[in-house]
Amino acid sequence: MPAPDALQGTDLFQLDDLLSEEQLLVRRTVRGFVQDEVMPVLKAHFRQGSFPEKLIPRMGELGLLGANLTGFGCAGMDAIAYGLALQELERGDSGIRSFVSVQGSLCMYPIHAFGSDAQKERWLPRMATGEVVGCFGLTEPDFGSDPGGMRTTARREGDQWILNGTKLWITNGTQAHLAIVWAKTGPDQDSIRGFLVERGTPGFSARAIEGKFSMRASDTAELALQDVRVPESNRLPGAEGLKGPLKCLTQARYGIAWGVTGAAIACFEAARDYAISRVQFGKPIGGFQLTQEKLAQMLTEIVKAQLVNLRLGQLKEAGKASHVHVSFAKRNNVATALDIARGARSILGANGIVDEYPVIRHLLNLETVFTYEGTHEVHTLALGRAITGLDAFS
């Protein structure tokens, strides 16, 4: 049996003392939602490769969609409360957090930041409730880390734009009512503009990507645009060049840094509980030095991620967070969460590869998060540029 003074939870440095009552309430509420409503259905959806769409209205009721935006029915959470919400969602599953991240940071945010008054009034209230689901069309088959090379085009014809191209690895793609599609209106990346493409528009289609072993409880799609006509009123007037979509990605990456910390906590707690109860050679495996070393390293990295997240949230709330801060957090926290998931899998032994325990599901999901919204390598180069002033991308 563990000693009565064994550490409970992962808040070794008592960071809860620095959180407001509202922030603690948000975390407690979202944790309860995940435990009571997400986890009972998640295993079946992960096995089936489907997203639990019935949970979307409930997410809207809880204020999780566009949670850190203000007005238009959005919750207006502060940066730390929003991060804590995403941490609890991904403590459940990366696919659930991804849905919320894409809806809020990649779809609602660009309308909120770059859209016209008419676009905001039409779309944001219904997106905040989950009545309208959005997706973000930036990545293409041949352009992932280099989005400025995109081949999707938009050609002006009178008061309409004609879009042609293909977008790939699009979260929420088949269930989305509205796609934020980024396309070139000229020869270079300065000509990139954002367009609101509604489901059902002639020439626009979405196809589910099959065969995924990761993010199975998430809708991932390919979008095809063939002579898709959208009115000028569907162009985001405030977005010009690659800075538009990159600002959206900075918002989403902030949420990822918090979210993966939740996945890491879930894996650590599963491994700790298993190590305390699993008996080999006459005692719990948690009593062996090798196992304790693994658990100590996991907790160390979780605490470091928590500290980074908290300070990043403070900077963001003060308007001082830069894309470099966000790249640092995304790069560090995802890599360490993946290492923690692998270490937890090792502690669980053969049980680490079955979905009776959450570890293998988180491990598989984190392989995707390691790559999407800026690969580990791209964020490494972003930090390298900040450190040296030299650009390795060109």
Q: Which residues are catalytic?
A: 373
Q: Kind and range of the H or E element at 324?
A: helix 323-348
CB 370 within 8 A of CB 94: no
CB 104 within 8 A of CB 68: yes
Strand partners, 197: 179
For the chain, the farthest-separated pair of C-alpha atoms sits apart, in whole angstroms, at 80
Q: Kind and range of the H or E element at 127?
A: helix 117-129
**Which residues 6+ apart lie within 8 Å of 299 measured at CB?**
7, 10, 12, 268
Q: Kind and range of the H or E element at 23?
A: helix 21-33
Return the amino acid letter for 185. T
C-alpha to C-alpha distance for 313 and 165, rounded to whole angstroms = 37
Return the amino acid letter for 249. L
DSSP result, 128-168:
HHTSS-EEEE--BTTBSS-GGG---EEEEETTEEEEEEEEE
Burial-class residue 281 by CB neighbours within 10 Å (0-12, 13-18, 19+): exposed
Q: Give, to the nearest 10 degrees, the angle between helix 323-348 and helix 376-388.
A: 140
